[in-house]
Amino acid sequence: MRIRFLFIVGLLSLTVACAHSKSTSRGTTGARVKSAEPIPQAEYPDETRRFLRMSLDDPERLKLRDRLIASVLSQAQSLADVGDYEGVVVEVSRLPMFLAPSDYAAGVLPKYVEPIAKHIADRGGRLGDEGYVLAANFILEHLTGDEEYQRRYDTVATWGREARANLDTVSEQYGGLISVWTDHADLTPAPDVLDTLAGLHIAGRDAVSAETTENRHRLGIGGERQLRLAPLNVAAVYLAHGDIESAITKVESMGEGAEGSELRLRLLDLMRAARSADEVGAAATFELVEGYRVARADVAAGLCRSALVRFPRDHRFPTCMARVAADSERFADATAWYVIAIELAPEMIELYDEALGQLDEFIKSRLADPHPERSSALARGAETILAERQKRWPDSTPPIAPNELEFLIGMLEMNAGHADEAQQRFERSLEKDEDSGALSQLGLLLERTGRPQEAEQTYRRALALAPSDSLADDLQRADIRENLGNTARSQGRTREMAAHYTAALGTWTEARDQVEGPTAALVEMRRGVLLDNLGRHEQAVDAFENAMSHAPQWRDVYASILSHLVSAQPDLELASSVWRRSQLHLTLPPEWKVYFTLWIQFITARAGQPPAEEHADLLRRLGGASNWWGKLASFGAGDLDYASLISVASSLGEETEALYYDGTRLFIAGDRKAARDQFQRVLDTKMVSFFEYEMARKLLEHKSGREPKP
């Protein structure tokens, strides 16, 4: 922490001192990336995969490279324009996929990278990100030829070494430097940068090795690992960019050492074998990939990318790209790589089953994606793989049943706002196997899209099929009963509504003594909602209090209670208590602090009370973040207007939220008609799985914004 603070001070001083430097421009040695039309975001993943598989002598390769780089830099510039420094760094770190280390030394980046690099240098200097500041100055010096950038680069590099020279242990001295130069190499992996990073790994090993036995004992397991794993770490610097020759040369230069010598020899044998262009080379490369994949996914990915070109017909390398993507939770990308691998090895049933075995988890994980509309590629890939497997091996049972896949894709479509497509998927799933769970989900979709009669019929089918052999079965039946009560309520049948709610409440109440922890919190939350819907508000308050006591750290407790109170009979005292308790927990992510505060603002207005300064103050503090929830916070604090908010919405989900929170803003301002119009636009998005959609639907159900007594 102290080193970082000193670096920030030093960089700020350096920036001021160099503010009026003059340019001494000189040319670069390589041809720069040409200005090109960015690739549309929807096409970017497919075009990236196409580029990575292109032969190096393909005449279209450079053109596609330039368009991909233009896409990355266009996104980076957009993020820089709104102050999203972290996002800019992530985008610039994508460029090494399209550029070789020698390209960085040749200064091939286009002129329009200059403001992006300046943004990184400025913000990185203020935050103490040495490695990124080095990378930014590296880009600027090679781009402009201005010697001042070289001087800044040298000053930062020298300062970093000198500031760490007197730290207590050699592990601390070299560990910090290795981290800095790793960041540098992530953005600008020029040969000299890679050599410096590899040299630091070797120097760190040598420094630990030179320590006395007593001092090495003080270093503990970290020092021993630094000695033993040094060959792997040195090789990784180059292998991350597919440079096997440089990795061999550098590891050979390390010399023999007592620790890690056997590992070094085995590694050298494997890398030497990997140089060849035959099956021996492919097998050795794949063995290197699998060896690095868990601990160093970046190295595995770099080796895979180079092998896609070296061994274009080998299914193992698209497979390894799929595995690396899956490990990083880039599920749509993983599925697309599995499809490519299967095209190369269509007779390998094991490959189909590996892919399909992952898909269930892929899709379930995607259900919570804040950008669910991006999941269409995942769904297409899943169907392609399953259909091909069934065609080739019709008598073999796949890891995921066709009706289950239909149901899961239906969930993806539902979450993406594609209500019609979701309904079709659910119905196809039910044609193959009428299941209570799928029927309940179809009923929920019908209910939330304004078709209560169809929803009621579907829920009744689900209830008839639902078993009652366990507590879990009973709670599922109670859930269906509650949904039947909701459909009766939508149709004005209050007596029937009360009967269903009462039956569901009885089941949840009986479960109280059989559960604990988060499950007990869930039981009490559901009891609270049902009691409130039955007009027993004081008992509902007790249930909500019990829910928070059972799982005080569980975000869903607060989300469920507050979202219910948004459209229920206003109880500002309860809502304020829930909101304050949620804000006390350090584990609550900042985006949920924003959502909960926007909800309590609206509840306050519905209760007829003036806006609370503490709500606006918190939103103003959180509004400093440059991502979407930061923009929502600024909007809620009154520091950002609706036009600016909707202009930065990057998905249908974010547009839905912008519409809803503009509706609440209009309501607070007293324009109830305009608020209802925005709430109706929320329903038009069909984003039925969003809190904002359901809150808008319930508010419109009551028109006046107040819930009548049952």
pLDDT at 646: 93
Mention every residue, 6+ apart, whose C-beta is less than 8 A from residue 213.
none
pLDDT tens digit string along 613-634? 999 999 999 987 777 898 999 9
For the chain, domain boundaries: 1-189, 573-710
- Specify the residue for token string 């749509």: 332
Structure tokens at 585: 């927990």
Q: Is the pLDDT of residue 13 over 60?
A: no
Can you give the pLDDT at residue 707? 41
Residue identified by tokens 């027993």 is: 536
For all residues of the chain together, what is the average pLDDT? 88
Contacts of 189 (CB under 8 A, 6+ apart): 96, 101, 104, 240, 241
In this prediction, residue 365 carries a pLDDT of 64
pLDDT surpassing 80 at residue 237: yes
Instruction: With beta carbons less than 8 A apart as the criterion, state whether 583 and 618 touch.
Output: yes
E-assigned strand segments in 599-644: none
Give the residue ranges of DSSP H helices in 211-274.
Answer: 213-228, 230-239, 244-253, 261-274
**Who's near 495: CB < 8 A, 6+ residues apart?**
none
Which of 12-26, 192-206, 400-414 is predicted with the least confidence, judged by mean pLDDT? Answer: 12-26
Closest CA to 117 of 138, 103, 100: 138
pLDDT at 551 over 60: yes
Distance CA 492, CA 427 (A): 28
Q: How far apart are CA 636 and CA 608, in angstroms?
A: 18
Distance CA 637, CA 678 (A): 19
The predicted-structure confidence for 327-381, as pLDDT tens digits, reads as follows 887 888 888 899 999 999 999 999 999 988 887 677 666 555 555 556 667 777 8
Q: Is 75 left (phi over 0), alpha (psi -120 to 50) or beta?
A: alpha
Give the pLDDT score at 638. 94
CA dist 436 and 425 (Å) reads 15
Q: What is the pLDDT of residue 81?
A: 77
Phi, psi of 585, deg, nearest 5:
-90, 120
Please say whether the beta carbons of 30 and 107 come within 8 A. yes
Q: State pLDDT tens for residues 429-464.
A: 999 889 999 999 999 999 999 999 999 999 999 999
Tokens for 497, please give them: 């509504």
The pLDDT of residue 627 is 79
pLDDT of residue 262: 84
Q: Please state, as a whole number, how many other Cβ atoms lie within 10 Å of the Cβ of residue 256.
A: 8
Render pLDDT for 625-678 as a digit per residue (tens, 0 to 9): 777 898 999 999 999 999 999 988 888 899 999 999 999 999 999 999 999 999
Per-residue pLDDT, 617:
95
Sequence-distant (6+) residues with CB within 8 A of 183 are 129, 130, 131, 132, 134, 135
What the block records as the tokens of 479 is 């859930």
* pLDDT value for 222: 57
Which is nearest to 195 in space by CA: 149, 243, 156, 130? 243
Burial string for 158-175 (b: 16+ CB within 10 Å, else e) reads ebbeebbeeeebbbebbb
CA 46 from chain centre, in angstroms, equals: 19
Model-wide pTM > 0.85: no
Looking up tokens 């390398």 gives 317
> Are 562 and 528 contacting, i.e. CB atoms less than 8 angstroms apart?
no
> What is the average pLDDT across 77-87?
80
143: left (phi over 0), alpha (psi -120 to 50) or beta: alpha
Q: pLDDT digit string (tens) for 484-499?
A: 999 999 999 999 999 9
| CA-based max dimension of the chain | 85
Does the structure show a pLDDT above 50 at 706?
no
Residue 561 and residue 606: Cα distance in Å, rounded?
Answer: 16
Paired tokens of 530: 């049902």
Higher pLDDT, 553 or 303: 303
User: What would the pLDDT profile of 592-605 be if each residue is shown by its tens digit?
Assistant: 999 999 999 999 99
Contacts by 533-541, CB closer than 8 A, 24 or more apart: 533/485, 533/489, 533/497, 533/501, 533/710, 534/498, 534/501, 534/502, 534/505, 534/710, 535/709, 535/710, 537/569, 537/571, 541/571, 541/574
CA–CA dist 107, 150 (Å, integer): 14
Tokens of 316: 């193992």
**HSE of 285, CA atoms in CB hemisphere, 13 A:** 31
pLDDT band (50, 70, 90) for residue 5: very low
| Percent of the chain topping pLDDT 70 | 89
